[in-house]
């Protein structure tokens, strides 16, 4: 499988490159970046033969079968459709788009082309959440409530590596997207109720720096989600599953019970790296000719719920 990574030199582009290096039978043949000199030097350092600032140039190459988009959110929809129209399978870093209309258009074009199009909903693949999901499917657990905290400390437009971003991040359409999808994935259906509250807008970034979201599933389970760019303390997202048969706390790829005892996740998946597991599912779906877990169609309900939440905040 020959892959192009767009946005390769960004924080998540590099995570995908590292993940692909751990998967047999995969070659990164092209990378795309914003600045010609920078992406060319990056490609040389990584031993990648082709580098460009023009995605269309990579899409025209016969040695590109699939594309991973780790580019700014605002161009995800346009680029995903561009990839599909060029006959390339595509994995879109979360979120697939920053509007419901654009998300629906991606799904429409995917169905029209029949190619694999997948969204990077990594929480479906983290071994910690897989462990919980497996027990829900086995009838051993039923979620009563999910309590989720997504916290960062951000005063300027920086990425996960502490470098300036060329675009503005968003608590709802980016960070909440992870948790909205996970809640619906774990409870088995679209939220029947959802609302959001947002704090003051940042005077320069133009985004809300604090947000509260509530959701209710068809089976009665509820979710409380707190998000902030103002939290000075431990960074990241922390998930508490309050179930009928135990409480579990997930922190990325680690899982603890309600009393802080670490749960052994050995054997849950072939890797403990969620990004690698996403990439394996994407490439495996292409090879097998099947719909992947986290296909754009399967993730569309999360985008509908985000749209509903946004409308309650206006």
Instruction: Please compute the mean of the pLDDT values over residues 219-226 and round it to a whole number.
Output: 97
Helix (H, G, I), strand (E, B) or coil at 264: coil
Mean pLDDT of the chain: 95
Q: What does the pLDDT read at residue 205?
A: 81
Do the beta carbons of residue 132 and residue 242 sit within 8 Å?
no
Whole-angstrom distance, CA of residue 170 vs CA of residue 200: 14
Q: What does the pLDDT read at residue 167?
A: 59
The percentage of the chain sitting over the pLDDT mark of 70, rounded to a whole number, equals 96
Q: Which residue has the higher pLDDT, 183 or 11?
A: 183
Q: Is the pLDDT of residue 161 over 60?
A: no
Q: What does the pLDDT read at residue 162?
A: 61
Helix (H, G, I), strand (E, B) or coil at 234: coil
Neighbours of 44 (CB within 10 A): 11
Q: What does the pLDDT read at residue 169?
A: 77
- Read out DSSP for 39-54? HHHHHHHHT-SEEES-
Q: Is the pLDDT of residue 199 over 70?
A: yes
- Report phi then psi at 143, rounded to 5: -70, 130
DSSP-assigned beta bridge partners for residue 248: 241, 257
Q: What does the pLDDT read at residue 314?
A: 80
At residue 166 the predicted structure's pLDDT band, cuts being 50, 70 and 90, is low
Whole-angstrom distance, CA of residue 276 vs CA of residue 88: 20
Whole-angstrom distance, CA of residue 197 vs CA of residue 96: 23
Least confident of 49-53, 152-156, 239-243, 247-251: 152-156
Structure tokens at 274: 């969620």
Q: What does the pLDDT read at residue 50?
A: 98
Q: Is the pLDDT of residue 215 over 70?
A: yes
Q: What does the pLDDT read at residue 170?
A: 85
At residue 204 the predicted structure's pLDDT band, cuts being 50, 70 and 90, is confident
Q: Which domains does the chain have, with CATH numbers?
A: 2-122+275-294 (3.40.50.720), 125-271+302-313 (3.30.360.10)
Structure tokens at 182: 């996970």
pLDDT tens readout for residues 90-127? 999 999 999 999 999 999 999 999 999 999 999 999 99
Whole-angstrom distance, CA of residue 49 vs CA of residue 54: 15
């Amino acid at each position: 499988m020959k892959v192009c990574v767009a946005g390769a030199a960004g924080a998540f582009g590099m995570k995908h490159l590292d993940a692909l290096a751990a998967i047999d039978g995969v070659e990164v043949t092209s990378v795309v970046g914003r600045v010609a000199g920078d992406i060319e030097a990056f490609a040389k350092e990584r031993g990648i033969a082709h580098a460009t600032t023009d995605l269309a140039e990579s899409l025209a190459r016969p040695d590109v079968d699939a594309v991973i988009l780790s580019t700014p959110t605002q161009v995800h929809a346009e680029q995903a459709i561009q990839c599909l129209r060029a006959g390339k399978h595509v994995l879109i870093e979360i979120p697939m788009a920053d509007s419901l209309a654009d998300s629906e258009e991606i799904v429409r074009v995917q169905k029209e082309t029949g190619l694999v199009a997948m969204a990077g909903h990594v929480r479906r693949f983290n071994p910690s959440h897989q462990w919980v999901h497996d027990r829900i499917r086995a009838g051993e657990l039923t979620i009563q409530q999910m309590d989720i905290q997504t916290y960062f400390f951000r005063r300027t437009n920086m990425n996960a590596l502490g470098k300036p971003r060329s675009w503005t991040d968003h608590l709802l359409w980016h960070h909440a997207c992870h948790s909205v999808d996970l809640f619906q994935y774990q409870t088995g259906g679209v939220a029947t109720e959802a609302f959001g509250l947002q704090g003051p807008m940042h005077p320069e970034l133009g985004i809300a720096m604090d947000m509260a979201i509530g959701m209710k599933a068809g089976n009665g389970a509820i979710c409380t989600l707190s998000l902030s760019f103002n939290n000075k303390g431990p960074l990241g997202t922390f998930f508490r599953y309050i179930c009928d048969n135990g409480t579990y706390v997930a922190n990325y790829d680690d899982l603890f019970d309600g009393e802080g005892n670490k749960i052994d996740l050995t054997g849950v998946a072939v890797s403990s790296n969620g990004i690698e597991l996403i990439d394996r599912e994407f490439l495996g779906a292409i090879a097998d000719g099947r719909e992947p877990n986290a296909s754009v169609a399967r993730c569309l309900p999360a985008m509908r719920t985000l749209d509903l939440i946004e409308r309650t905040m206006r």
